[in-house]
Structure 1
Amino acid sequence: MNAHTTTLLVIGGGPGGYVAAIRAGQLGIATTLVESGNLGGTCLNVGCIPSKALIHAADEFEKTTHFADGSALGISVPSASIDLAQTTRWKDGIVTRMTGGVASLLKKSGVQVIKGHARIIDGKTVEITGDGESVQRIGCQHLLLATGSYTTELPFMPFGGRVISATEALSPTVAPQRMVVVGAGYIGLELGIAYRKLGAHVSVVEAKDSVLPAYDVDLTKAVATSLKGLGVELHLGCSVLGMNAGQDAVRVRGANGDEFELAADQVLVAVGRRPRTQGFGLEGLMLDMAGQFIKVDDQCRTSMRDVWAIGDVTGEPMLAHRAMAQGEMIAEIIAGKKRHFMPAAIPAVCFTDPELVVVGLTPQEAKAAGMDCIDALFPFSANGRSMTLESKDGFVRVVARRDNHLIVGWQAVGKSVSELSAAFSQSLEMGARLEDIGSTIHAHPTLGEAIQEAALRALGHALHI
């Protein structure tokens, strides 16, 4: 059995793990990263990046079908077709380039990458089984758990056959005629909308009474309207019972208790994700847990000295950019810097049609927290750039304290609003007030002008509405 030691051993090569390893390498910390699959984790391989590639392809194809009968722009496209096998190859090429880039960055930073399955012996020792059942033992001073999460499976509707997870949905060769999506959260709706634009008849079943139930109704109203316009069939307040005897339809119980079936060539189950805490010896450490998650403090320390945990395995929000920030912080703490994970806000983005962004507190959350706040929104129907993009639906909304105008939250829904998330987050991190945003010159014509106008409206003197 081979054996060596390292200062930092990272288990998991997803966004949190590889960022921690790269930053540690930059700081001169001897670092080893262990990953059983491809570098990049769920995000780069079967999550964030490939899903946005498929969404883009679906959007572009939908444009051509939209132009088939002519348009106000004067564009007419006689007919259009899509080769989904080629689309998947294009998507896979992007993934390959990005994962290859991660490998290059790790190598440049002096990180040793080991492909294999890790099993924790104790807080200082990990055993790795690689190809050909070769085994090596690695001793470390610091152990970082960045094992991520996996798709939740319904026990009465296991994956296989017609029932697929997001992983399979991201590599289509042909679009199904009829797809049933179980779950109207962001994963289900992002992929459901993409498949509808690719030509599938899509039905969405959701146990709650609204789409994107984690978000407030003012934001999701525009998404619900868009779904209706796209022809997506919604079954809200309904529960899935399983497949029928013929395995060609989903059995559903309606809000009034009646049961019916939805014919399906494919069933996409998107009901959430679970932290990956099993299968690598974690239980032997007997760490303090917070429900199903590993409990950590504001430095991502676990209950065992020099054992750290980041990302999805530590709880909500399960977002790649949260894991990245945590990973960078841990590397700097190990290097002797004073850091704490105390972000003013973590942006959340839904790449639906239209897109949706939430940073900080909504008006309802601010009120529930006992804060006296004002809020104001500026509609994209009054924004010139939105009009030129043929997208007048949606708005930007700001939430600020009434007494000193400190901004505590931003929300937006509309075309391409995901790109506004950086400005939203930065204003909260820098402690901006309404006057700061209102007096900042924003380029014209841009969607970003709606940010300034929302702040001005909260102050009582919006200029363009």
Structure 2
Amino acid sequence: MKQIKTKVLIIGGGPGGYVCGIRCGQLGLDTVLVEANALGGTCLNVGCIPSKALIHAAEEAHRVTTLSAGPLGLSAHLSGIDFQRTMAWKDGIVQKLTGGVGALLKKAKTTVLQGKARILDGKTVEVTGGPEPIVVRAEHLILATGSRPFGLRNLPFGDHVISSTEALQLPAIPETLAIVGGGYIGLEIGTAMAKLGSKVTVVEAADRILPQYDADLTRPVASRLAQLGVTVHTGAQAKGLSVDGKSLLFSTEDGEQTVAASKILVTIGREPVLDGFGLEQLGLEMQGRYIRIDAKCATSMHGVYAIGDITGEPMLAHRAMAQGDLVANVIAGDHASWDKRAIPAVCFTDPEIVSVGLLPTDRSDLKVSSFPFVGNGRAMSLERSDGFVRFVSEPRNDLVLGIQAVGAGVSELAGQFGLAIEMGATLQDVAATIHAHPTLGETVQEAAMKGFGRALHI
């Protein structure tokens, strides 16, 4: 049996794992990364990237079909969408990005082993699936195994009950689509499918969609779903399939109901991948269903680190990337520790939602100021003046504690929002920063101005 000795061993080549692998290599650490499937993990292959590609294609198709009815004086006709060609384009983007990840790891001189890892102890891992088993011995072990869709016992995945993974690999647009779960994953895919012509129904257990956000942020999204013909049932519990297996059964306060669906998409959340690779051999301390880590992403076993979705919420690729970078620097001798004040969360619905830091509901004494896109010239010229930008600040000194926005294209403001909080900006700092005209970003300055009674265009 072939044996390898290395400084660092990473299990998992998703956003956290591959970023850690690249940084370790750049810092001169002898590093081996093991990936069972494709580099890039869920995000690059069956999550973030392909879903955004599908969302873009759906928006372009919808734009063409609605041009003639709009006020711009344009007319167009879309006879239909070549969905297989669209999916091939999406797959091409994924392949370019995953290939790029491989090239970056190679450039950093990080060794990539394609195969399934099994932990033997805190320093030793066996990798199978290649020409021969390989035993890797390392000084430092980094766990980055990610997460997977969470299923329902009464709606097990299979046949036409699908997860987000299968939804992004469909050979054709489903005529009817029922979505169990009104969170960001279900609504992103559901909105895209509705724009492509699918009849979409959403079943959400909470009293409104996107329950992690406040009602002001979700109201424009709910309105847009109604415009697109999406039926939304809130306060509804999925019960299972009908006898013939062609309909979804769900209950509301009005009783049991059914909705016919050629596909049923279950998006009720994700769970950390903690099985199938020998984690039990380590006996690590847990925090609920996640691996407990400290400010350096170290676990309860010396020399073993954990990053990404297996370490808890928020389950976001950019959080995993930041953790991967941190661990590489720690192993290289840096005294770095996790001190991030803001992790942006983006919901790529229509309109998009961005949230960084505190929400108005997190404290009763918070100062809240907002500015609507209807007062922004750029938003009006784009025919998308729905939504707003909102600041949440400390009443005593106007320190920015949170920023949210809902509107078309607001995802591109996430970096500015995060930077303001990380840099300890006040409302006055943001208001005093000149924002280019005419841009959507002007609403950020106006919302800050409004916080101390100096807004201009409202």
For 1:222-241, what aligned pairs fall within 5 Å after superposition? Answer: 222-241=220-239
The alignment of Structure 1 onto Structure 2 pairs a total of residues equal to: 458
| 2:442 paired residue number | 449
Q: Is contact 1:64–1:80 with CA below 8 Å preserved after alignment?
A: no
Q: Write the distance in 1 (CA, Å) between the matches of 2:2 and 2:121.
A: 17
The normalised TM-score by structure 2 is: 0.99
Q: Find the aligned partners of 1:78 and 1:147 in 2 and give their Cα distance.
A: 46
Alpha carbons of structure 1 residues 229 and 21: separation in structure 2 relative to 1, 3 Å: same
In the alignment, structure 1 residue 428 sits paired with structure 2 residue 421: yes
Runs of 4+ in 1 over 6 A off after TM superposition: none
Does structure 2 conserve the Cα–Cα contact (< 8 Å) formed by 1:70 and 1:77? no
In structure 1, the residue matched to 2:135 is: 137
- Cα deviations across residues 29-74 of structure 1 (Å, max 9, x unaligned)? 000000000000000000000000000000000011112x432111
Deviation, structure 1 residue 106: 0.1
The amino acid that maps onto 2:43 is C
> Which position in structure 1 is the counterpart of 2:355?
358
Q: Displacement, 1:131?
A: 2.9
1:111 corresponds to which residue?
110
CA offset at residue 363 of structure 1?
1.3
SS across alignment from 2:245:
coil
What corresponds to 1:279 in structure 2? 276
What's the RMSD between the two structures over aligned residues? 0.8
Alignment match of 1:196 (pick from 171, 194, 197): 194
| Residue matched to 2:80 | 81
Cα deviation digits, residues 86-116 of structure 1 (max 9, x gap): 0000000000000000000000000000000
Query: Residue 403 of structure 1: CA displacement?
Result: 1.2
Q: Distance in 1 between matches of 2:78 and 2:24?
A: 53
Please name the residue that 1:331 is paired with.
328
Residues 26-175 of structure 1 correspond to what in structure 2 (within 5 A)? 26-67=26-67, 69-132=68-131, 134-175=132-173
**Equivalent-residue separation in structure 1 for 2:77 and 2:361 (angstroms):** 48
Distance 1:167 1:315 in 2: 21
Does residue 407 of structure 1 match 2:404?
no
Identity of aligned residues (%): 54
Partner of residue 337, structure 2: 340
Aligned-partner residue type, residue 46 of structure 2: V
Q: Is the 8 A contact 1:383 1:450 kept in 2?
A: yes
Q: Give the secondary-structure state (helix, strand or coil) at the position aligned to 2:238.
A: strand
For 1:149 and 1:193, the matched residues in 2 are separated by: 24
Say whether 1:3 aligns with 2:7. no
SS in 2 for 1:141: strand
Distance, in Å, in 1 between the alignment partners of 2:415 and 2:324 is: 20
- 1:9–1:143: 8 Å Cα contact kept in structure 2? yes
Q: Identify the residue that residue 381 of structure 2 maps to in structure 1.
A: 388
Letter paired with 1:456: M
Unaligned runs of 5+ in 1: none
| 1:6–1:80 Cα change, 3 Å | same
Hey, what's the Cα distance between the residues in 2 that align with 1:71 and 1:150? Answer: 41
| 8 A Cα contact 1:166 1:269, kept in partner | yes
SS in 2 for 1:404: coil
Matches of 1:366 and 1:39, distance apart in 2? 41
Whether 1:460 and 2:453 are equivalent positions in the alignment is yes
| Structure 2 Cα separation of the partners of residues 223 and 71 of structure 1 | 20
The one of 238, 257, 260 aligned to 1:260: 257
* CA-CA distance at 1:172 after TM superposition: 2.5
Q: Partner of 1:464: helix, strand, or coil?
A: coil
What is the rounded CA distance, in whole Å, between the counterparts of 1:53 and 1:312 in structure 2? 23
Write the letter of the residue equivalent to 1:103: G
Q: What is the match of residue 182 of structure 2?
A: 184
Q: State the alpha-carbon separation in 2 of the partners of residues 136 and 294 from structure 1.
A: 26
Distance 1:283 1:217 in 2: 42
SS in 1 for 2:325: helix
Comparing 44-53 and 402-411, the one that deviates more? 402-411
Supply the AA of the counterpart residue of 1:327.
Answer: G
Matches of 1:131 and 1:29, distance apart in 2: 24
Q: Cα–Cα, structure 1 residues 136 and 78, in superposed 2: closer, same or farther, change >3 Å?
A: closer
Q: 2:411 — aligned with what?
A: 418
Give deviations 1:419-447, integer Å, cap 9, x for gaps: 00000000000000111100000000001
CA apart distance, 1:373: 2.6
Do the aligned partners of 1:84 and 1:172 also contact (CA within 8 Å) in 2? Answer: no
Alpha-carbon separation, structure 2, partners of 1:78 and 1:356: 30
Trace 1:306-325 onto structure 2 (pairs within 5 A): 306-325=303-322
